[in-house]
Amino acid sequence: MKSTPAKAVKVRSASGDYVVLCQRGILERAEREIARLGRFSSIHILTSPKVWKALGKEIRRGMPEGFAKHVHQFDDAEEAKNLQTVEKISRALVRTGADRKALLVAVGGGVVGDVVGFAAASYLRGVQLVQVPTTLVAQVDSAVGGKTGVNLPEGKNLVGAFYPPRLVLVDPKALGTLPDREFRSGLAEVIKYGVIADPKLFAFLESGMDAILRRDARALEHVIRRSIEIKARVVGKDERESGLREILNFGHTFGHALESATRYRRFQHGEAVAWGMMCAGLLGHEVTGTPADAVSRIVTLVRRIGPLPEWPETSAKRLLQAMHADKKTREGKLRFVLAPRIGEAETFDDVPEKKVECILRCAPQFFARPLKALGKCDA
């Protein structure tokens, strides 16, 4: 049976435009798609043991023996997303003879993509990169846009580079082996795109969430492709996060603080973002007048992706301190992406810290009860 062409989404970049190819089964012809990029002195697959165990055979079928003979595996836990892992990868590349005409193929979730992307940007001052995201959060978000980086003990993604790939291969079929918790976690980023840029996508998620949670092929491919299109449009206009691209961080200022305060051991990234979006919705109601109905819809939809890890027993002041280490902070002032209405978002830098502290204090109790009516948070 003749395969249909993959659906391509073009991403504009100052370093050279690239495409995201999204189609079920595209990994089966990964060799052909990568070969279109030109010749490389060597090709190195970088992945984690668990991803390679789940998808290694399928990926090898798409890349015949000899096409990519070097496979480097490393820990993809969030705690391992650090400079030490980048050093280990770089030294492994040296030992296997990777030169400036080598190609790195990142196969895995967000941690793999971020770490390998930063290694590609740094090794020999830059080698070519292909992203093959295998988790939902990576397919719709982290593999697209060229942001790479690692964490420091002081905060998330504080060391990194803007380094776009040559190609991104998105195969929704790869999500079939994804654990349920990771799949549901990734849906938070999909909800984010509806909140910040597309009320039709948000409405589709409201009506089709049950089908998506069943991993219905058509529903899932639709939301993945639409999320990629939104991200490509945003980063094409603002690659270096100097303005518009900041809207992609809706919920992330709260989420990153939760991850940092729990040393990246309690939350998956999407789970922290899910808490963060609910908090950002409530903060929007407090600060920008986001309608109560809109906040209720955001919170209700987030809740439908499944139970979240409990809010940590950490003081609001400690979380505020973690927020001050966020990349968006300017001259010591916290900046938040808020949504005045579903489908629109912008960055605010005049948010009273007392309001933020109040949200952090009351969030666990507030979001645990039915949202029949949305009241004010007493600062």
Instruction: Note if 357 is an active site residue.
Output: no
Confidence of residue 1 (pLDDT cuts 50, 70, 90): very low
How far is the CA of 10 from the CAs of 18, 21, 32, 145, 331, in angstroms? 6, 9, 19, 11, 35
CB–CB of 294/281 below 8 Å?
A: yes
At 332 the pLDDT is 76
Tell me the Cα Rg of the chain: 20
Catalytic residue among 249, 259, 297, 335: 249
- The SS3 of residue 72 is strand
Local confidence band at 4 (pLDDT 50, 70, 90 cut-offs): very low
Residue 3 has pLDDT above 50, yes or no: no
**What CA–CA distance (Å, rounded) separates 86 from 92?**
10
147-152 and 344-348 as β-strands: parallel, antiparallel, unpaired? Answer: unpaired
Average pLDDT of the residues in 26-50: 93
**Per-residue pLDDT for 269 more than 60?**
yes
Chain-centroid distance, C-alpha 47 = 17
Residue tagged active-site, from 70, 184, 225, 231: 231
Q: What is the pLDDT at residue 151? A: 92
Ranges for all domains in the chain classified under CATH 1.20.1090.10: 180-366
Outline which parts of the chain fall under CATH 3.40.50.1970.
7-177
**What is d(CA 58, CA 169) in angstroms, rounded to the nearest whole number?**
14
2 pLDDT band (50/70/90 cuts)?
very low
Neighbours of 169 (CB within 10 A): 27
Measured between alpha carbons, how far is residue 324 from residues 48, 196, 253, 352 in Å? 32, 23, 9, 14
| Mean per-residue pLDDT, 315-323 | 92
| 245 in catalytic set | yes
- With CA atoms as reference, report the closest residue to 306 among 200, 199, 210: 210
Instruction: Respond yes or no: is residue 189 known to be catalytic.
Output: yes
Choice among 241, 344, 346, 357 that is catalytic: 241
Taking residues 251-274, what's their average pLDDT?
93
Distance CA 36, CA 240 (A): 27
**263: left (phi > 0), else alpha (psi -120 to 50), else beta?**
left
Q: Is 125 a catalytic residue?
A: yes
Amino acid at position 87, single letter = E
Residue 222 known to be catalytic: no
pLDDT of residue 378: 55
pLDDT at 64: 66
The pLDDT of residue 68 is above 80? no
Give mean pLDDT, residues 182-202: 97
Closest residue by Cα to residue 262 from 275, 276, 272? 272
Helices 110-122, 83-95: axis angle to 10 degrees equals 60
> Considering the entire predicted model, what is its pTM?
0.90
- Interhelix angle 199-213/180-197, nearest 10 degrees: 160
89 pLDDT higher than 50: yes
Domain 180-366: CATH superfamily is: Dehydroquinate synthase-like - alpha domain (1.20.1090.10)
Query: Does the annotation mark 239 as catalytic?
Result: no
The CATH topology of domain 7-177 is Rossmann fold (3.40.50)
Residue 11 has pLDDT above 50, yes or no: yes
* 72 assigned to active site: no
- Over residues 328-353, mean pLDDT: 89
Q: What is the pLDDT of residue 294?
A: 97
Verify whether residue 269 is a known catalytic residue: yes
Report the length, in residues, of the chain.
379
Catalytic residue among 245, 297, 328, 335: 245
6: its two tokens: 């993959």
Catalytic residue among 189, 239, 246, 259: 189
